[in-house]
Amino acid sequence: MKKFKVEGINCQNCANLIKNSLEDDFGKIEVNVADKEVLVDIKDEEISNFSKEINDLGFEFIKEIK
């Protein structure tokens, strides 16, 4: 699993939007609303596309957390 910092996740509805919109393309997604983190099992070459999809939903993809 990779962990990403994503700004704009303020409530469970935000988490649900991310999960419902992206799980078909990227598999199971976990969202930690309090820490504004998204966990997803993707390959390194998918990160660019994943970050674009997050931004297209109105959130701000910040960085991968190692």
Helices marked H in the chain: 12-26, 47-56
pTM of the full structure: 0.94
Instruction: Check if the beta carbon of residue 4 is closer than 8 Å to that of residue 65.
Output: yes
Report the CATH number at residue 14.
Answer: 3.30.70.100
Cα within 13 Å of Cα(1), Cβ side:
11
**What tens digit of pLDDT does each residue of 14-63 get?**
999 999 999 999 999 999 999 999 999 999 999 999 999 999 999 999 99
Give Cβ neighbours of residue 22 (< 8 Å, ≥ 6 apart): 29, 40, 50, 53, 54, 57
Counted domains in the chain: 1
Q: For residue 12, what are the domain limits?
A: 2-65
